[in-house]
């Protein structure tokens, strides 16, 4: 997955975002046929897609820096799927589903803001 894509949360809400081995599908949400990332070589189907659970659970991470309004709270940025994820008492990522677009307009806007401020 490219860092560029991680920094495009608003646009990503309209994308399929099925994942496979680090690739992420950039076809439109609900598309027919195989999954594919624009510019990528890998094609995959639903059976080959990664399970929704992110493999990074349990990874030690630092909390993400916060914006003026406190976003993203006490969460950390997952180094694998780029979701903002709560940390457990030992500073490790809690189990979570891989990021597949933001749940709300607010979250999408703040996420974009965050990547503008702290992203790459
Ligand atoms: Zn797809
Ligand atoms: Zn993750």
Any idea what the Cα angle at residue 49 is, between residues 43 and 52, rounded to 5°? 145
Ligand 2 centroid to residue 79 C-alpha, Å: 7
* Residue pLDDT, tens place only, 1-60: 445 555 555 555 678 888 898 788 989 889 999 999 988 899 999 999 988 899 899 999
CB 96 within 8 A of CB 84: no
Ligand nearest to the CA of 17: 1
* Residue pLDDT, tens place only, 59-94: 999 999 999 999 999 899 999 888 999 999 999 999
Ligand nearest to the CA of 77: 2
Q: Report the alpha-carbon distance of residue 54 to residue 78 in Å, rounded.
A: 9
Task: Identify residues whose C-beta is under 5 A from ligand 1, the ion.
Answer: 16, 18, 25, 27, 35
Ligand 2 centroid to residue 29 C-alpha, Å: 20
Q: Report the alpha-carbon distance of residue 62 to residue 104 in Å, rounded.
A: 25
Q: Among 92, 12, 27, which Cα is nearest to 57's?
A: 92
Q: What is the DSSP letter of 106?
A: H
Tell me the pTM. 0.73
């Amino acid at each position: 997955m490219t860092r560029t894509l991680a920094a495009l949360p608003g646009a990503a809400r309209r994308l399929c975002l099925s994942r496979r081995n680090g690739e992420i599908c950039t076809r439109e949400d609900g598309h027919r046929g195989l999954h594919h990332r624009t510019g990528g070589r890998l094609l995959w189907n639903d059976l080959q897609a990664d399970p929704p659970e992110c493999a990074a659970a349990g990874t030690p991470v630092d909390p993400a820096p916060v914006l003026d309004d406190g976003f993203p709270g006490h969460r950390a940025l997952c180094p694998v799927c780029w979701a903002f994820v709560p940390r457990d008492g030992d500073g490790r990522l809690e189990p979570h589903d891989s990021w597949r677009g933001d749940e709300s307009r607010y979250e999408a806007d703040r996420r974009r803001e965050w990547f503008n401020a702290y992203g790459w």
